[in-house]
Chains A and B, each alone.
Chain A
Amino acid sequence: MAKLTETKHREPLFHVVKRDDMPEWKAWLIRVITILVGFLFVGILSMAVTQKSLGDTYSIMFTGVFGRLLEGSTTMLWKYLQEIVILLCLALALTPAFKMKFWNCGAEGQALMGGLASIFCMIQFGEKLPYITLIIVIAITSILAGAIWGVIPAIFKALFNTNETLFTLMMNYIATQIIAYYVYIEGGGSNVINPVPFGNFPVVGNNDYFVNIAIVAVITVFMFIYLKYSKQGYEISVVGESQNTARYIGINVKKVIIRTMLISGALCGVTGMLLVAGKDHTINTNLVGGQGFTAILMSWLGQFNPFIMVLMTAIVVFLRLGVAKVADTSLLNSSFSEIIVGIVILMLVACEFFIHYSIKFRHNKKEVKA
């Protein structure tokens, strides 16, 4: 009994306090340090697995991403930018939905449907329509396909509050099966559709990917302005903060949910179009390759700010390509880069704790006095 009362009086060693007062530069210092620690960790882990020196590991990563950039060859740099803009476009597409606290896990499926619409138009109308008309038709159908795939869960969320995380997730697999069906029909029994020569995005200055990069750059700026300065962007953030507040000030919550998911799905559809018409010129079930899920993390790490998202996607794609190269040169499986990306993202998620909370230790002096 005496023991019990003794423990009652003991203060815990430390306790956690919430804080909102950390200056922006300090928060960014913590994030940058985390990223640097992450890179160091990546290097050391790769070193341990591949038995190469730390310097070699980083130089392999650099060549894996930028190729012979220092000698003037920009081919790999453009590929790197291309990989960034695809992931970035998906992350941008998800951002308005997340800001509204609508967990759109269906970027994968929405992009697949956009891609399906593109390839369908390329095959069906490729020879019949003039080039400009064809591109416009492709753009409209892709955007519509993505928007429809995104708005179905949103309608049910708005009407019945159906769980959107799982609904959008299931829509991914339905989209995958539709693609599998289409590829089987169009590929004539083989599981491959040969690259379609019609309706491809134009090559600008010897560069296949310039159009993709330009489109996503425009979307980035548009999304920044839309979220920060437009009335609709404001409505999204109010609905995200509190649906009751939104209703009180006269925002039609259902309309906002449906409209936002139309935009989110449409941009995912655009990504599908970029992948099909701008990059692969064909389609398979692995078109998006799980990037829909990485994009969720990118959108969250970017704190709903499109320009921070550019930075985050650049880092993650650098890690993915760089570590894949390291794994490749040492005959390791390319999944090694998935592990690395997972670990670095978890580190970034964990570092937010030190930005939003502080740890207060017990004052030992007091105890001595008592």
Chain B
Amino acid sequence: MIIQFICRAILLGVPLLYGSVGEIVTEKSGHLNLGIPGIMYVGAISGVVGSFLYENACGNDIAAMNAFLAIIIPFLCAIAGATVMGLIYSFLTVTLHANQNVTGLALTTLGIGLGNFLGASLINITESEMPSIALTKTSSFFSAKLPFADDLGWFGELFLSHDFLTYLAIVIAFVVSFTLNRTRVGLNLRSVGENPATADAAGINVVKYRYLATCIGSAIAGLGGLQYVMSYASGVWSNNAFGDRGWMAIALVIFALWKPSAAIVGSFLFGALCNANNYIQGLGTETQELFKMLPYIVTIIVLIITSMRKKREHQPPQSLGLNYFREER
């Protein structure tokens, strides 16, 4: 029971982890990307389109599908779709100096629209009776477990039974954490986010760093969408099912105080909170609705506490949300 609860929490938390690590990378360059919810949608639907095409090319026969291709095609599609969205965002905000919040919100509208439109179109093509599209074959490749995980009892279930995207998320979080704190690239990126004018004077290419950080961050966030469809929803796409996870990922960035390694713990905790209503005994449906507030209330409490303590290392990048224009002083 408790093991099952933790595993479920991890499964729910992984899309948030991808989203928040992506957003951390972007925010470290000084750009507050509120387009993340839309970008995650686009990542998810790109992956769905990719695997849909591959499944059809193989005649919907699982025996004809190559495990490597079945994984790599949706994977690359998700990254490509999300990166294109990131490019639009960075072109508007970095090159055209557009307001970041407005651009991000418009991008979210666009991304959710794209996801639902393409999803509905695919559902039309398959002429299925359900308002969803099932890619269970591709999903079975994604959620393949280590062969010996079941033999190791609770230990195996807790640590070894997850899909590879879960492990990849944790690896990415650690790699990002290391890059940000221990390498020259990370130092440059942080300085771009703290004070772009100083970074520029020191010879760092601010525009390049901001473009790259936004695009890489978007690609990571897009994988979160893919993980949601392929692992959590076992390959079933239905419109609007992804919900508000993108916004929670952005909130998680503050919860984690801009530290990718803290985001790992935070995302699993959020996953547990999202799921708590299903595991507390004796709740009526109406009380369950109230319990679904938990993750949001916890986020607010964390927001308040971090703003009250005002520790220097807990502050956002100093020029977060501000565009950099070299000739402006």
Residues of A within 8 A of B (CB): 16-18, 103, 156, 160-163, 165-167, 169-171, 173-174, 177-178, 180-181, 184-185, 189, 290, 293-294, 296-297, 300, 331-333, 335-343, 345-346, 349-350, 352-353, 356-357
CB atoms of B251 and A297 under 8 A apart: no
Measured in the bound complex, the distance between the Cα atoms of B106 and A297 in whole Å is 7
Name B112-147 residues within 8 Å CB distance of A.
Answer: 112-117, 119-121, 124
Can you give 24 A-B contacts (C-beta < 8 A)?
Answer: A103-B101, A160-B307, A161-B307, A163-B307, A165-B34, A173-B296, A174-B293, A177-B290, A178-B290, A180-B292, A297-B106, A331-B124, A333-B116, A333-B119, A333-B120, A333-B121, A335-B115, A336-B113, A338-B116, A342-B106, A342-B109, A346-B88, A350-B96, A356-B97
Q: Give 1 or 0 for each of B268-304: 1 = CB within 8 Å of chain A CB.
A: 0000000000000000011001101100110110011
CB atoms of A18 and B293 under 8 A apart: no
Q: Which of A166, A293, A333, A343 has the most CB of B within 10 A?
A: A166
Known: A177-B290, A349-B99, A350-B98. 19 other contacts (CB 8 A): A156-B307, A160-B307, A162-B303, A167-B300, A169-B247, A171-B296, A177-B292, A180-B292, A184-B289, A189-B285, A297-B109, A332-B120, A339-B110, A339-B117, A342-B106, A342-B107, A342-B110, A342-B111, A346-B110
Question: Which label, helix, strand, loop or mixed, suits the secondary structure of the B interface?
Answer: helix
Measured in the bound complex, the distance between the Cα atoms of B286 and A181 in whole Å is 5
CB atoms of B109 and A349 under 8 A apart: no
Q: Which residues of A contact B308 (CB under 8 A)?
A: 160
Measured in the bound complex, the distance between the Cα atoms of B304 and A337 in whole Å is 38
Q: Which residues of A contact B247 (CB under 8 A)?
A: 169, 173
CB distance from A262 to the nearest CB of B (A): 19
Q: Which residues of B contact A171 (CB under 8 A)?
A: 296, 300
CB atoms of B299 and A300 under 8 A apart: no
Measured in the bound complex, the distance between the Cα atoms of B73 and A179 in whole Å is 41
Task: Please judge, given known A-B contacts A177-B290, A293-B105, A350-B92, whether A166 and B250 are in contact too, CB under 8 Å.
Answer: yes
Q: Which residues of B contact A353 (CB under 8 A)?
A: 96-98
CB distance from A143 to the nearest CB of B (A): 23
Q: Which residues of A contact B307 (CB under 8 A)?
A: 156, 160-163
